[in-house]
A and B are shown apart, each in its own frame.
Chain A
Amino acid sequence: MSAVTAAVPVPEATAPTKGEGRPTPWWGMACLIMTESTLFAGLIGSYFFLRASSKQWPPPGIEEPKVMLALIFSFVLWGSSIPMLVAERGIKRGNERTLRFGLMGAWILGAAFVAYSLYDFHELHFGWRNNAYGSIFYTTVGLHTFHVFLGLVMSVVVQIKAWLGKFSKERHVTVQVYAMYWHFVDAVWLVVFPTFILSPHIK
C-alpha cells in the first residue's frame, strides 16, 4: 500500500484572493454568448450581403415590415430584463420571494413576446421559400424567437428550483448564469429588430 505525502503550504502563492472572482459557470456562459453573438452577427451580415446584391429590398410584392406593434412588443421583451434584474438583486441579498416573482414577471413578458412573434409570422404574406428576403427574415427572426422560447423553458426549471427553496444568498450561480442568457437574448433583439424591422424602411 503506497502513501502519498502532503507537504507544507507555500504561504504567498496559496494565500486566498481577497476579491470575489467569477464562478466557472459564469465564464462558460460568457463563452457561449461570444459564440452565439457570432452566429447572429453572421446572419445579420448575410442579411446586408443579400440586400446589397438585390435591386429592390424588400423584393417586389413584399411590403416593409409593420413597425408599430413590433415596437410595442420589443419594449415588452426589453422590459423583461427589469424583473430579471430585480430577481438577481433579490437573491443576492437572500430574498427568495423577490427572486420567485422576478423570474415569473420576466417569464410572462417573454411569453407575451413569443406569442406576438407567432402571431406576426402567421400574418406575414410571404413564406421563407419565396425569395432570399423571406429566407433570411424567417431564419434570423425565427432563430431569435426560438432563443426566447428556450429561455422560457429553462426558466421553468429555474423557477421550480426557486419555489423549492434551492437558492440562497450564498448559492445562486444557476440564477446568475440564467439571467446572463436572458439579458443576452434581449440584447440580440436590440440588433435584430432595427436590422429586420426598421432598416427596410430606409430607401
Chain B
Amino acid sequence: MAVTDVPSQETHGEVDAEELEEIWADAPGVPGFFSTIDHKRIGMRYIYTAFFFFFVSGLMALVMRSQLAAPNNHVVGPETYNQLMTIHGTTMIFLFNTPVLAGFGNYILPLQLGTRDMAFPRLNAFSYWIFVLSGIFFFASFLIGKAPDGGWFGYVPLTDKAFSPGINLDFWGLAIVFVGISTTVGAVNFIVTTFKMRAPGMTINRVPIFVWSILSMAFMVLFAVPAVTLAAGLLELDRLFGTAFVNPHLGGSVLLYQHLFWFWGHPEVYILFVPATGMISMIIPVMARRPLAAYLWVATALIAVAFISFGVWVHHMFATGMPVQAMSFFSAVSLIIVLPSGVQFFAWIATMWKGRVRFTTPMLFGIGFLLIFLLGGITGAMLAVMPFDWQVTDSYFVVAHFHYVLNGAVVFPIFGAIYFWYPKMSGRRLSERWGHISFWLMFVGFNLAFFGMHILGFLGMPRRIATYPSGLGWDDLNMISTIGGFIFAVGTGVTLINWFHARWWGKPAGNDPWDGDSLEWSTTSPPPEYNFASIPVVASRHPLWDQRPLPTASSTGDEATKSLGPEGAEHHETPETTGLDARPQGTLDLPHPTYLPFLLACGIAVFFVGLLIKAILVGVIGAAALVIALTWWAWRTEVDLA
C-alpha cells in the first residue's frame, strides 16, 4: 500500500479547535458528572473507583496480616477475620482487578484504535454506574456490620441458609450477580469497538497487542460470567426463596455450585491476567526501543489462552473426589495452558535482548512482573499435577501461588501501566525517582510477604485460619510475611502520593513522552474530547515509528468516509470500518450526554436492594424504573439514528 507516498500535508481546510470543544464538551458541574458518556472520563472514573477499593481492601489485608503476625494473636476475632478475608478476596477480584483493567481498556483502547469514542458510549456509562453501585451495595454490608463471611468463593453448604442464616451472605451473592452485568456490558462494548471502529488501514494484523488482549478478555467474559451469575444466582434463589439447588436433602448438589463457580473462576484468572500481559507487551517494546518480537505468535497466544482457559476449571476441585480419569483431562489441559504464556514470556525476553532497554519506572514494573510471573507460573504448573495438588491443597502454598499470579502478575503490570499512560491521561509526568522507590518497596515487600507462604504451605499451615498455635515452625515466616505486607503497602502508597502530586505539580508530559509507537501518543495529552479531529491513516503495526509524519484522512462526500476528516468531528460522528481490513464502511452518529445510563443503573440497584431486604414493593419500584428507563432508551435510540 502506497500510503506514505501520498504528497504530504496539503491543507484542505482549517477547523477551529475551540468550536470542536464546544460541540463535544460535557455540561459543567453536577449535570455533566451524571450525564457524561465520554470514554476517557469513564475510564478515569473506573480507575479511581477501582483504586479506592484496592486501598480499602489492601488495608483489610494489613489487618489480617497483623492478626497472623504472631501465634495466638488477638488483633481481631475469628468472626471479623472471616469477614475481612471474604471482603478482601471478593473486592480484589470483582471490584479492583476486573474494573481497573476495564478502566485502562476504556481509556486507551479507542485512542489506540484511532476513533472518537466507544461503539456504545451510553452502555459504557451504564457499565460504570453498575460497577460503582454494586460496589456500594457490597460495602454497605461492612458498614452495617453484617459483612459476608463465607470466603470469596462462597462454598456451600457453609453459605447455605442453614449454616449462614444472616443477611451477610445475601450481600455477597447478589453483589456478584449485580457486578456481572457491568463486566458483561463492558465486554460487549470492547468487542464491537475493536471490530468496527478501527482507523482506516489498521487491518486486524496491525492492531496493538493491548487491544488483542482486551479482545481476548472480552470474549472470555461473555462465556464465563454467566456461570458465576448462575452459581451465585442459584445460591441466592435457595437462600431467598427456598429452592433446592444446593440442598442435598432435596436432590440438590453442592458440587454443582463448585462446577459453576470454577467454570467462571478459572477463565476469570485469565480475564485478569491477559490484559495485564497486554500492558506489558505495550511497555516492553517502547522501553526496549524495538518492535515486539513474534507479534503474530503473541496475538495467537492471547486468543489460544481464551479457548484453553475453559478446559481447566476442575483443577480447583481435585480434592472433591471425582474419577481420576476425568480429572486427568483437566490436569493435562492445565499443563498445556502454560505453553501460550511461555510463548509470550520468550517474546518479551527476545524483545529486551534485541533492543536497548531504558530502565524507566514502567520498565522496572515490567521486569518485576517477569520475575514474579515466572515463579507464579511454575507453581501453577505444579498445582496442575494431581498428586502434588493433593499434598498442598487448602494450604498456604495455594495462597502464595495465587498472590504471585493475581497480585504480582496483575498488579505490577497495572502499576507499570499507570506510570506508562498517566502522562497521556493527565498531560503530566509522574516522578521517576519516587516511581523507582515505589517499585523497589513493592517488589521487595511483595516477595517478603508471599514467598514464605510457599514454605508455610509445605509446613502444613492451612489457609482460611484466623490464628494458629506456636511451636509449629510457622512463627518466623508469618512475621516476615507481615513485615513484607506492610513494606508492599508503603510502596503502593508512594505511587498514590506520586499520582496526586503529579496531578497538580507534575512536569508537562508532551504528546509522546516515551517515544511510543501506537496511535494514543499522536494526540495531545490529555486528549481532546473528540480524540482526533482527523482520523489517522494506518499503514504499519507501529504507525508512529514507521509513518512520519502520521498521515490523517479527510472527509469526502461519500456516506462511508464523510466522518474521517474534521467535518466528522464537527458533526459529532465517527467512522465505522470493516471488521478485518478496516475499510471505511459507514458513519456513526455518536450519542450526546444523557442521564439514562445512570437512571437505568439506579433502577437495577433499587431492584437488588428489594431482593436483599425481601421487600416486594422496593423490588417492584426498581423494576418499574428499569422498564421506564429501558423504554425511554429504546425510544431515544431511533431519534438519534434518524
Contact = CB atoms under 8 A, between A and B. Distances in A.
Interface of A: 1-17, 19, 21, 23-24, 27-28, 31-32, 34-36, 38-39, 41-43, 46, 49-50, 53-54, 59, 128-136, 138-139, 153-154, 157-158, 161, 166, 171, 173-174
B556 interface: yes
B188 A28 contact: yes
Interface string B563-584: 0111000000000101100111
B93 interface: no
B561 A9 contact: yes
Please list the 6 inter-chain residue pairs (A to B) with the smallest Cβ-Cβ separation, ordered nearest first: A13-B201, A16-B560, A132-B251, A135-B243, A39-B226, A4-B533
B56 interface: no
Interface stretch (B346-354, B485-493, B632-640): B632-640
Nearest to B567: A6
Contacts of A46: 230, 234, 245, 256, 260
A129 B583 contact: no
Interface string B209-252: 00000000000011101110110001001100111110100111
A194 to B, nearest CB: 20
A135 B583 CA distance: 50
Contacts of A133: 251
B11 interface: yes
16 contacts: A6-B552, A6-B566, A7-B553, A23-B576, A31-B187, A35-B222, A50-B251, A50-B256, A53-B255, A128-B243, A129-B241, A129-B242, A135-B252, A153-B627, A166-B638, A174-B634
Contact of B17 (A3, A27, A135, A139): A3
Given A27-B195, A135-B243, A157 B635 contact: yes
Interface string B366-389: 000000000000000000000000
A21 B579 contact: yes
A27 B191 contact: yes
Nearest to A7: B552
B576 to A, nearest CB: 7
B244 A17 contact: no
B538 interface: yes
A13 B1 contact: yes
B222 A3 contact: no
Contacts of A166: 638, 642
Interface residues of B, number: 89
B183 to A, nearest CB: 10
A27 B196 contact: yes
Nearest to B9: A7
Contacts of A157: 631, 634-635
Given A23-B576, A135-B237, 20 more contacts: A6-B11, A6-B552, A7-B9, A8-B10, A9-B564, A10-B3, A10-B200, A13-B3, A13-B200, A27-B119, A28-B192, A46-B245, A49-B259, A50-B253, A53-B253, A129-B243, A131-B244, A132-B251, A157-B631, A173-B641
Contact of B634 (A4, A139, A154): A154
A135 B10 contact: no
Interface string B16-29: 11101000000000
Nearest to A42: B230
Given A27-B191, A35-B222, A171-B641, A6 B534 contact: yes
Report which residue of A31, A43, A157, A158 has the largest number of chain B beta carbons within 10 angstroms of its beta carbon: A31
Given A16-B560, A35-B225, A132-B245, A21 B12 contact: no
A27 B585 CA distance: 14
Contacts of B583: 13-17
Contacts of A21: 196, 576, 578-579, 585-586
A28 B642 contact: no
A12 B554 contact: no
Contacts of B317: none
A7 B237 CA distance: 60
A49 B230 CA distance: 14
B444 interface: no
B253 A7 contact: no
A35 B226 contact: yes
Interface string B198-211: 00110000000000
B282 interface: no
B642 to A, nearest CB: 6
A9 B556 contact: yes
A13 B552 contact: no
Interface centre among A19, A42, A133, A154 (most CB of B within 10 A): A42
A10 B561 CA distance: 11
B551 interface: yes
Interface in B8-60: 8-18, 20
B6 A10 contact: yes
B192 A24 contact: yes
A6 B534 CA distance: 6
B200 A14 contact: yes
Contacts of B537: 10, 13-14
A42 B228 CA distance: 10
Contacts of B564: 9, 14
B120 interface: yes
B184 A35 contact: yes
A46 B231 CA distance: 10
A7 B2 contact: no
Contacts of A135: 234, 237-238, 243-245, 252
Contacts of A9: 553-554, 556, 561, 564-565
B259 A1 contact: no
A6 B578 contact: no
B251 A131 contact: yes
A88 to B, nearest CB: 17
A16 B553 contact: no
Contact of B584 (A17, A39, A158): A17
Given A27-B196, A132-B252, A4 B566 contact: yes
B558 interface: yes
B471 interface: no
B323 interface: no
Given A6-B565, A10-B200, A46-B230, A139 B237 contact: yes
A13 to B, nearest CB: 3
A5 B578 contact: no
Contacts of B538: 13
B256 A49 contact: yes
A12 B247 contact: no
Instruction: Name the residue in A7, A14, A128, A161 with the highest tally of chain B Cβ atoms < 10 Å from its Cβ.
Output: A14
B12 A6 contact: yes
A35 B267 CA distance: 14
B101 interface: no
Given A4-B15, A7-B9, A9-B564, A16 B585 contact: yes
B53 to A, nearest CB: 25
A129 B565 CA distance: 62
B321 interface: no
A50 B234 contact: no
A10 B237 CA distance: 58
B539 interface: yes
B588 interface: yes
A5 B11 contact: yes
Nearest to A36: B226
Contacts of A32: 188
Given A14-B537, A174-B638, A43 B14 contact: no
